[in-house]
């Protein structure tokens, strides 16, 4: 080998050879190694090699033994959020009520569209897209209707579908540590933090002391919701919601020195002015959700978005209208959630 220069001056005979001295076999070997390295890099980038230790989903013998996926989604961002959260928190049980593991462990995948929508608000979620699975790992998904007492863990099905139904799965959702999965993107967290800081600054300018921060989220009162809350027209649904919100504010004032941050449809509290109330208008839903998740309590009239925000905060809640399943799940999780209308 003809040495061009010694790159280790203290070691004899170590140097770099010119390309003309390399044999054809050596060149072929280098090319082969480069190609293999490139292919592996692509596979890793597309998660064909599972970082948890299982070899990639591209090989027939390495497909997950049991697959569980979620129905494609709902008709609203809030519905998508609840659908993913209940799916993520679900843990199958065997006939003795114990968590399943070993060869029968279920691997969960979520629809790509659902993940893409949620990851506009949250940092990358833990579940992988179902579409990323090779076709030979996807069998026809049977439609599985779940009821209150029906368990999804069915050993006769290889690929199962999780229903978008809160009723049977609210309790594990409320018991889960959601902060591990749902981490707001930095720009959203920063926007919520800045909003809180400005609200506190307003209170300082007013020389109004406070020791708790209570977000109030007012969902729009649609004709459908008003008809639902007052089906016989015996009551003014908007007036009833306002009465609930004002009563909840009074409860906080009796026990704390609150800072109320009002978001959403301000018409429900039109004309309400107080030294402990700061109004915020034209706020993106993602930032409003982050504000709700950082409160010391929560007040809202109805809606999945503020409900989930309060759940992230593990805060006590007063709502005008709330699903009984949600209230029961909150009580089981030692949370104090109450509503004037329970449906």
Domain definitions of the chain by residue range: 1-45, 60-180, 186-342
Q: At what angle do helices 186-205 and 285-292 cross, to 10 degrees?
A: 70
Tell me whether residue 56 is exposed, middle or buried, using C-beta atoms within 10 angstroms of its C-beta: 0 to 12, 13 to 18, 19 or more.
middle
**What would the two tokens of residue 100 be?**
């399943």
Mean pLDDT of 305-331: 95
pLDDT band at 227 (very low <50, low <70, confident <90, very high): confident
Residue with tokens 């030294």: 275
Exposure on the CB side of residue 177, measured as CA atoms within 13 A: 1
The pLDDT of residue 131 is: 86
The pLDDT of residue 176 is: 93
**What would the two tokens of residue 161 be?**
């579908």
Measured CA to CA, the distance from residue 81 to residue 86 in angstroms comes to: 9
Q: Which of 24-28, 130-134, 151-155, 186-190 has the lowest mean pLDDT?
A: 151-155
Over residues 83-124, the pLDDT tens digits come to 999 999 988 654 333 444 444 567 899 999 999 999 999 999
Over residues 33-91, the pLDDT tens digits come to 566 566 555 444 444 443 333 334 444 446 777 788 887 667 788 989 999 999 999 88
Ranges assigned E (strand) in 93-239: 106-110, 128-129, 159-162, 212-218
Which is more confidently placed, 278 or 143?
A: 278
Domain 186-342 homologous superfamily, CATH: Glycogen Phosphorylase B; (3.40.50.2000)
The pLDDT of residue 257 is: 97
Distance between start and end Cα atoms, the chain: 86
The pLDDT of residue 68 is: 83
The pLDDT of residue 228 is: 75
Is 329 a residue whose pLDDT tops 60?
yes
Q: At what angle do helices 77-89 and 304-313 cross, to 10 degrees?
A: 40
Is 19 a residue whose pLDDT tops 50?
no
Over residues 152-209, the pLDDT tens digits come to 545 455 667 777 777 788 999 999 999 999 999 999 999 999 999 999 999 999 999 9
Q: What is the pTM of this model?
A: 0.77
Q: At what angle do helices 285-292 and 304-313 cross, to 10 degrees?
A: 40
Is 4 a residue whose pLDDT tops 50?
no
The pLDDT of residue 233 is: 66
The pLDDT of residue 271 is: 81
pLDDT band at 332 (very low <50, low <70, confident <90, very high): very high
Over residues 260-299, the pLDDT tens digits come to 999 999 998 988 889 999 999 999 999 999 999 999 999 9
Ranges assigned E (strand) in the chain: 66-70, 106-110, 128-129, 159-162, 212-218, 258-264, 277-279, 298-300, 317-322, 337-342
């Amino acid at each position: 080998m003809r040495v061009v220069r010694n790159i280790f001056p203290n070691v004899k005979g170590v140097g770099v050879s010119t390309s003309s001295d390399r044999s054809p076999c050596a060149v072929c070997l280098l090319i082969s190694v480069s190609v293999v390295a490139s292919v592996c890099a692509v596979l890793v980038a597309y998660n064909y090699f599972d970082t948890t230790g299982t070899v990639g989903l591209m090989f027939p013998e390495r497909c997950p033994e049991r697959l569980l996926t979620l129905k494609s989604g709902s008709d609203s961002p809030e519905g998508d959020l609840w659908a993913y959260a209940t799916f993520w928190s679900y843990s199958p049980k065997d006939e003795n009520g114990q968590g399943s593991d070993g060869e029968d462990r279920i691997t969960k995948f979520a629809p790509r569209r659902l993940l893409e929508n949620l990851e506009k608000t949250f940092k990358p979620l833990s579940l992988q897209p179902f579409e990323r699975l090779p076709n030979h790992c996807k069998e026809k998904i049977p439609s599985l209707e779940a009821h209150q007492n029906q368990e999804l863990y069915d050993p006769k099905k290889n690929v199962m579908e999780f229903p978008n139904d809160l009723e049977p799965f609210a309790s594990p959702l409320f018991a889960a540590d959601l902060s591990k999965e749902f981490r707001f993107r930095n720009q959203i967290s920063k926007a919520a933090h800045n909003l809180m800081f400005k609200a506190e600054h307003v209170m300082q300018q007013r020389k109004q002391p406070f020791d708790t921060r209570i977000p109030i989220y007012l969902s729009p009162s649609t004709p459908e919701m008003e008809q639902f809350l007052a089906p016989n027209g015996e009551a003014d649904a908007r007036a009833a919601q306002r009465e609930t919100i004002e009563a909840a504010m009074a409860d906080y004032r009796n026990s704390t020195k609150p800072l109320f941050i009002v978001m959403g449809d301000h018409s429900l509290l039109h004309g309400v002015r107080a030294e402990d109330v700061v109004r915020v208008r034209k706020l993106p839903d993602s930032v409003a959700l982050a504000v709700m998740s950082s409160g010391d309590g929560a007040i809202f009239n109805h809606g999945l978005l503020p409900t989930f925000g309060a759940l992230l905060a593990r805060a006590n809640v007063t709502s005008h209208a709330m699903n009984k399943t949600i209230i029961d799940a909150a009580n089981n999780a030692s949370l104090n959630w109450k509503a004037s209308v329970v449906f």
